[in-house]
Amino acid sequence: MKVYQTNEIKNIVLIGGAKSGKTTLAEAMLFEGKVINRKGNVDDKNTVSDYREIELAKQNSVHSTLMYTEIDGTKINILDTPGFSDYVGEQISALSVVETAVLVNNATVGIDATTENAWRQAVKTNTPVLFVINQLDHEKASFDQVIAQLKDNFGEKVTIAQYPVNAGEEFDSVIDLILMKMLKCNKGGGKSEILDIPDSEMEKADKLHRLLIENAAEGSDELMEKYFNDDTLTIEDMRLGIRLGMRTRAIFPVFAVSAKEGQGVARLLDFIKFSCPAPNGIAGERKSSTGKIFNANPEDPTNLLVFKTSIEPHLGEVSFFKVYGGTVEEGMDLINTRTSNKERLSQLFVVAGKNREKVTKVCAGDIAATIKLKETHTNDSLASPKAADESLDPIEFPEPTIYMAAKAVSSSDDEKMGSILNEMHKTDPTIITGFSRELRQMIIKAQGELHLNTIKWYFNNIHKIEIEFIAPRIPYRETITKSARADYRHKKQSGGSGQFGEVHMFIQPYTENMPKPTDFPVRNKEEHELPWGGKLIFHNCVVGGAIDARFMPAILKGVMERMERGPLTGSYARDIAIYIYDGKMHAVDSNEISFKLAGRFAFITAFKNSGPKIMEPVYDVDVRLPEEMMGAAMTDLQGRRALIMGMDSDGKYQVIRAKVPLAEMHKYATTLSSITSGRGTYSMKYDAYVAVPSDVQDKLLKAYEEEQEEE
């Protein structure tokens, strides 16, 4: 295959709702470029994009897919992404490495929740957007209604570049406002017949053409001056103005197509070639850790970013990358800037779904794939030795919105389950997994219920392992509210030397300026920062040799072991000051195990007598939703013991700010989606540990007692 130079490459991503027709549009694009000679369709399960087993079973995209098409000497790399918001990681990684997002809209549906979510991700990644209104051949298609919704939701920068003459079942013609011609589109695709605009459409076309020129002229001062002087712009000037405006997100052109019939797709590709931003412009820039900007300059040292990892049958790990500087050649050795280890790119491929074609060289700005990298994963940079300190800024993935504990139905599969989950994280960084020592559970963090169901599908159908999801335990903390004393004697005699140790202990809540007891002196003080937060302050106050100093570490160990499994619910204990002020020992029978046990049980007794409280993690939660749905959302939050902190407006949306206990956030993503018909989103960030209400504490204590009895 030809090696394309930087100025011969365009990179786009298809985003939009789940039923907008992105996969069908990708198929039509590949057909126009003769990359395929026969178009597949979703119903027949033979598209280039949806080739994975899960996608064939569900008949919708689950993973992003890299493809390309070739138009008049230009290679257009295409990333087709899933429409459902749970697969947001696939959208974000693709948006982060392209210069144009093609936001596909269903002409019969208009703007739905998944369209809004796709737009929001394009805003976050600052990616230029081109709108495509698809399925204009449907009897219920309404171009004008969709345009009104686009402008209402996304602003007046939405600018019509084409509009249909006869949307509906007879659709075959559009007015192109750049060419100022009517294009009669052939069913099956191919170049359109170019005709003069009918008199009946001229007034409307002139008005929209004028608006398009004005928006294009704003791309630069030079174009604005030309427009003022000549009262118009040439086609070349319009293309330049649109390209400049798109890359700064000052204009969002709108095109009209029927992807299923291939109508308008050739002209859309022509527009992408001439008017969409290039890899070596502002829209293609990426900073490095040293502040250097890489924007696909072939003269720069080689630097690439791995933006996606896939595990393919018979191939293993496939790494998809974009070249941000220099060129990459087959057999080249590059440095992983994270590990400082060398990686050899033994093979390079251009990719169209599951089809791969070997190439010997990939130029700056291009997107390709390689295999069998040793220690390189998503978000890693590979650079030439000259740029080994230039780690490209990583892709920022969103925080999880749903937490669940997972366990294999058969305990013999536990280890295998953990290994598979680690592999899933490699291919989808928004799946975060790990065994929690504190909760004694395997925790999965994901982007929603559908995301979890996808994980389960892979276990059931690919790995043949049955797993189940259960509510995760909450990482409570235990502490005390007042001081108390306790003593405990451990004595055991079973022939020969026995065990003996007696510990007298005083405990009080730890605070920065806590009052210190005055009735016994402190001989030694140890301050321990606990791994789970908070402190343990341990004082040796023993005088007169009642307990030998060599037994103090054993007493501390006994206390610490019990703080790891708190006396109330088995949760971590924190923020306690302990004073060992007296005790007894035996010349023969005293040993470390005796004082460890004595310290442990003295601590339990003192803890239970010192006003113990259970603390729960509280999170700052921001909920973004349409204003008309505020009432239901507020009622639901209040039912979750939320403390409403305030409300802000965000365009047509409202944002509720609240503090909510983590225990009440279980499956909130599902509830919010139900309340808002998928239009609501939320984020959460840990704030602090707060004492639980007394009725909640009683329930927790009772539940723990029952659990202990069962064990």
Whether residue 314 sits in one domain with residue 250: no
Residue 637 within any structural domain of the chain:
yes
| pLDDT per position as a tens digit, 201-215 | 999 999 999 999 999
Of 232, 258, 282, which residue constitutes the final position of a domain?
282
C-beta separation of 65 from 50 below 8 A: yes
Residue 506 sits at the vertex; the CA angle it makes with 504 and 511, to the nearest 5 degrees, is 155
Going by their DSSP bridges, the two strands 316-325 and 367-371 should be labelled as: antiparallel
Clarify whether residues 364 and 411 are in a common domain. no
Judged by DSSP in three states, 402 sits in strand
For residue 511, the Cα-to-chain-centroid distance in whole angstroms is 38
Pair 35, 69: CB distance under 8 Å: yes
**Directed axis angle between helix 235-247 and helix 199-217, to 10°?**
50
Average pLDDT over residues 646-665: 93
Let me know whether 115 and 243 are in one domain. Answer: yes
Residue 502's CATH number: 3.30.230.10
Is the pLDDT at 359 greater than 70? The verdict is yes
- Verify that 84 and 212 share a domain, yes or no: yes
- Does residue 294 form part of some domain? yes
**Torsion angle, CA of 565/570/576/582, rounded to 10 degrees?**
-60
The domain total for the chain is 5
166 in a structural domain: yes
pLDDT value at residue 162: 97
E strand residue ranges, 400-558: 402-408, 432-436, 441-446, 467-470, 477-479, 484-492, 499-509, 524-529, 535-540
The last residue of one of the domains, among 387, 416, 451, is 387
Q: Is 701 within the bounds of a domain? A: no
Query: Alpha-carbon distance 204 to 357, whole Å?
Result: 47
Residue 490 lies in a domain: yes
* CA–CA distance, 6 with 15 (Å, rounded to integer): 24
The 10s digit of each residue's pLDDT in 325-341 is 999 999 999 999 999 99
**What 3-state DSSP class applies to 308?**
strand
When mean pLDDT is compared across 320-324, 610-614, 649-653, the lowest value belongs to: 649-653
Looking at the structure, tell me whether residues 604 and 619 fall in a common domain. no
Q: pLDDT > 70: what percent of the chain?
A: 100
Q: Which two tokens stand for residue 5?
A: 């130079």
Query: 621 and 517 in one domain?
Result: no
For 294-320, what is the mean pLDDT?
Answer: 93
600 plus 490 within the same structural domain = yes
672 contact partners, CB below 8 Å, separation of at least 6? 623, 625, 633, 636, 680, 681, 682
Q: Give mean pLDDT, residues 677-682.
A: 89
Output DSSP code: residue 94: H
CATH of the domain at 224: 3.40.50.300
Measure Cα distances from 134 to 164, 177, 265, 452 in Å. 11, 18, 10, 30
Question: pLDDT above 90 covers what percent of the chain?
Answer: 85
The number of residues making up the chain comes to: 711
pLDDT at site 711:
63
DSSP assignment, residue 412? G
Q: Distance (Å, rounded) from C-alpha 83 to C-alpha 95?
A: 13
CA distance 180 to 492: 99
For residues 413 and 427, state if they share a domain.
yes
Q: Domain check: are 344 and 238 in the same one?
A: no
**For the chain, what is the largest distance between any 2 Cα atoms, rounded to a whole number of angstroms?**
114
Q: Pseudo-torsion of CA 215, 220, 221, 224, nearest 10°?
A: -30
Q: DSSP string spanning 310-370?
A: EEETTTEEEEEEEEEESEEETTEEEEETTT--EEEE--EEEEETTEEEEESEEETT-EEEE
Whether 85 contacts 114, CB under 8 Å: yes
SS3 208: helix
Distance of CA 388 to the CA centre of its chain: 27
Distance between terminal CA atoms of the chain?
65
Q: Which domain, by its residues, includes 336? A: 286-387
Question: Which amino acid would we find at residue 140?
Answer: K
Q: What is the CATH number of the domain that holds 437?
A: 3.30.70.870
Indicate the average pLDDT of the chain: 94
670-682 CB burial, b ≥16 within 10 A, e <16: ebbbebbebbbbb
Supply the pLDDT for residue 401: 87
Q: What is the pLDDT of residues 394-410, one digit of tens each?
A: 999 998 889 999 999 99
Same domain, 257 and 353: no
On whether residue 594 sits in a domain, the answer given is yes
3-state secondary structure of 628: helix
SS (H, E, C) 632-660: HHHHHHHCCCCEEEEEEEECCEEEEEEEE
Coil vs helix vs strand at 27: helix
Is residue 704 in some structural domain?
no
**Which CATH number is 629's domain given?**
3.30.70.240
Q: Is residue 397 part of a domain?
A: no
Give the pLDDT confidence score for residue 495 in this predicted structure. 67
Residue 323 and residue 292 share a domain: yes
The CA distance from 350 to 356, in Å, is 6
Predicted confidence (pLDDT) per residue in 408-453, tens digit: 999 999 999 999 999 999 999 999 999 998 898 999 999 999 999 9
224 token code pair: 């604005």
CATH number for 304: 2.40.30.10
pLDDT of 512 higher than 90: no
3-state secondary structure of 527: strand
Is there a single domain that holds both residue 231 and residue 173? yes
Q: What is the mean pLDDT of the segment spanning 256-279?
A: 96
Q: What is the residue whose two structure tokens read 């590709």?
A: 269
Rg (C-alpha) for the chain, rounded Å, is: 32
Boundary (domain end) residue, out of 240, 256, 282: 282
Tell me if the pTM is above 0.95: no
The Cα–Cα gap between 646 and 634 comes to: 11
**576-584/535-540 β-pairing:** parallel
Dihedral sign, CA of 681, 687, 693, 694?
positive
